[in-house]
């Protein structure tokens, strides 16, 4: 069914189509049309982070920044949905146009800039969600663009404290390329200071609320090998609950001949697959096995999800693939991961590279 709708959506400006799609999903959620759009996904219960995910395929942050569409998105069959990135105060983000399609390359470029209504609005929205069924909710937190990095801890703590009771897990976003200076927080000493502070707050909030909510850190695909080593060392030392690998890339090598390659922002979709998977694989070999990984970046079909799993991912997330393939991609990825998990040998599995 999505094949019939996609030409209409692709005839619209990309950000407008994004809004139209979310509003339409809300309208059809729970109806016969909604079930036709997103057939049921067979369970593949995955126990990780101390949680039982109905299946290991989730929605990456960025699609629903304000947590306004949780029920409709879970209705697409995802095992989990991650909302945000949310900041303490509302902010408009970068000027439009700021979202671009590269259909031949099955890619997007975005420079949204953490546009959102602020954490208090997200809390209200998520509190109203029914969350019927078993899908889990992640909340992704960031800092306001006008907050200097020296004071970033305060922004992350502000969000962490407010969303803690509502989240099944929390992701700390220090890797978006669209907030000036944000990626500097991945440098070893800055990372140790920030994550150390948040880990202390996580334990305090766990005692306060009577539940321990896992906290993950989302990293960039553009880290050098030395940076990945340092990042793994810090995150392993601080015993974070998990790592999301990766965010979008600033590299344009894979799309350098496209006229939109000059647009600033993060590149996602098929051209990101190899780069993000390489970082995922490096992290898996450098982090303790007790720290699970979420593989995200470039999953456009079931074989891509299986490759992420082969590289060390316990869970995967989709975003750009959903734009190009529609909801059928969710079940396709679950089935591919099921086959890989159940296969007695690697003979009939896709290669890791």
Is residue 310 within 8 A of residue 352, CB to CB? The reply is yes
**Closest listed residue to residue 255, CA positions, set 241, 234, 269:** 269
Q: Can you give the three-state secondary structure of 108-138, one letter per residue?
A: EEECCCCCECCHHHHHHHHHHCCCCCCCEEE
Measured CA to CA, the distance from residue 147 to residue 41 in angstroms comes to: 42
3-state secondary structure at position 50: coil
Q: Can you give the three-state secondary structure of 262-308, one letter per residue?
A: HCCCEEEEHHHHHHHHHHHHHHHHHCCCCCCEEEECCCCCHHHHHHH
Provide the annotated active-site residues: 176
Task: Please tell me the chain's helix, strand, coil percentages from 3-state DSSP, rounded to the nearest 5.
Answer: 45, 15, 40
**Sequence-distant (≥ 6) Cβ neighbours of residue 341 within 8 angstroms:** 44, 309
* CA 92, chain centre distance (Å): 21
């Amino acid at each position: 069914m999505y094949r019939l709708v996609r030409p209409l959506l692709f005839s619209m400006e990309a950000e407008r189509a994004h809004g139209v799609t979310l509003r339409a999903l809300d309208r059809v959620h729970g109806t016969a049309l909604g079930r036709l759009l997103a057939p049921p996904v067979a369970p593949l219960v995955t126990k990780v982070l101390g949680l039982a995910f109905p299946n290991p395929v989730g929605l990456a942050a960025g699609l629903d920044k304000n947590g306004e569409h949780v029920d409709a998105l879970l209705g697409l069959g995802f095992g989990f949905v991650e909302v945000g990135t949310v900041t303490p105060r509302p902010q408009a983000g970068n000027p439009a146009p700021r979202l671009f399609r590269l259909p031949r390359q099955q890619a997007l470029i975005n420079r949204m800039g953490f546009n959102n209504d602020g954490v208090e609005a997200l809390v209200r929205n998520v509190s109203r969600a029914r969350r019927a069924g078993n899908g889990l909710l992640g909340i992704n937190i960031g800092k306001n663009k006008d907050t200097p990095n020296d004071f970033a801890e305060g922004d992350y703590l502000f969000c962490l404290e407010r969303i803690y009771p509502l989240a099944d897990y929390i992701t700390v976003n220090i890797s978006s390329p669209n907030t000036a200076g944000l990626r500097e927080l991945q440098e070893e000493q800055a990372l140790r200071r920030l994550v150390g502070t948040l880990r202390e707050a996580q334990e305090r909030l766990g005692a306060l609320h009577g539940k321990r909510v896992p906290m993950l850190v989302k990293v960039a695909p553009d880290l050098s090998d030395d940076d990945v080593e340092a990042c793994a060392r810090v995150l392993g030392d601080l015993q974070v609950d998990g790592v999301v690998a990766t965010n979008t890339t600033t590299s344009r090598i894979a799309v350098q001949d496209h006229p939109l390659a000059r647009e600033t922002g993060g590149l996602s979709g098929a051209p990101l697959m190899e780069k993000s998977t390489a970082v995922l694989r490096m992290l898996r070999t450098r982090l303790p096995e007790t720290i699970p990984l979420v593989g995200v970046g470039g999953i456009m079909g079931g074989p891509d999800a299986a490759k992420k799993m082969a590289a060390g991912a316990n869970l995967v997330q989709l975003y750009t693939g959903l734009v190009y393939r529609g909801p059928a991609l969710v079940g396709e990825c679950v089935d591919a991961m099921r086959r890989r998990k159940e296969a007695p040998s690697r003979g009939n599995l896709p290669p890791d590279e």
